[in-house]
Structure 1
Amino acid sequence: MIRHLVLFKLDEGVDRDDPRVVKGVEAFRALDGKIPEIRFWELGWNLSDRPIAYDFAINSGFEDADALRRYVEHPEHQAGVALWKEFATWVIADYEY
């Protein structure tokens, strides 16, 4: 299994209730069940107020590297990525577990 972690940092001046952010969260929330390669899917807003903390996280699981690749290339995923590019940056980590 592959764990795919994504941590998002909202751009300066962008808040969680910004309509673009709300739409971006909804787009990623809707991926569970739309993309068959997803084995595990959770996401949410960070609760920590530490200055090094990111704002939003996705924690997901995939059967193997090919399944992860198909997810990354999936049009629904790419549409969500396009939305988030307007207001955030992110880092990822993919590892076997």
Structure 2
Amino acid sequence: MITHIVLFKLKDGIDRDTKQVAEAVAYAREVGHQVPELVDWRVGWNTVDRDISYDFAAIGVLADLPALQRYQENDFHRLAIEKWRLISDWVVADLEDQ
């Protein structure tokens, strides 16, 4: 199993209440329904505000590395990425179960 973790930091001047952010969040939530390779999908806002915190997270579980590759190539997932690219920077980690 692969756990795919993405942490988003809103760009300076971008507020959670903007239309662009609401749209990106809606797309992020829908990824879990549109990408068949996902075994599990969780998204949400960070609940604790710290200097080192990111604002929003997406965590997906996939069966294996080929499933992760198909997820990355999925058209709906790519649309979601474009929404987030406009409003945030992010980091990604992919953990393989041992």
Bin for the TM-score computed over the shorter chain: over 0.9
Stretches (4+) displaced over 4 A: none
Distance 2:25 2:3 in 1: 20
- Which residue of structure 2 aligns with residue 65 of structure 1? 65
More helix by share: 2
Q: Show CA shifts across 1:11-51 (max 9, x none).
A: 00111111001000101101112211000100100011110
Cα distance in 2 for residues equivalent to 1:63 and 1:83:
26
Q: How many residues align?
A: 97
Give the aligned partner of residue 34 of structure 1.
34
CA distance in 2, matches of 1:73, 1:20: 23
TM (normalized to structure 1)?
Answer: 0.97
Name the % identity: 42
**Structure 2: any 5+ residue segments left out of the alignment?**
none
2:15 is matched with 15
Match of 1:90 in 2: 90
CA-to-partner distance for each residue in 1:37-89, whole Å, 9 max, x for gaps? 00010010001111000000011100000001100110000000011111100
Question: C-alpha distance in 1, partners of 2:33/2:8?
Answer: 22
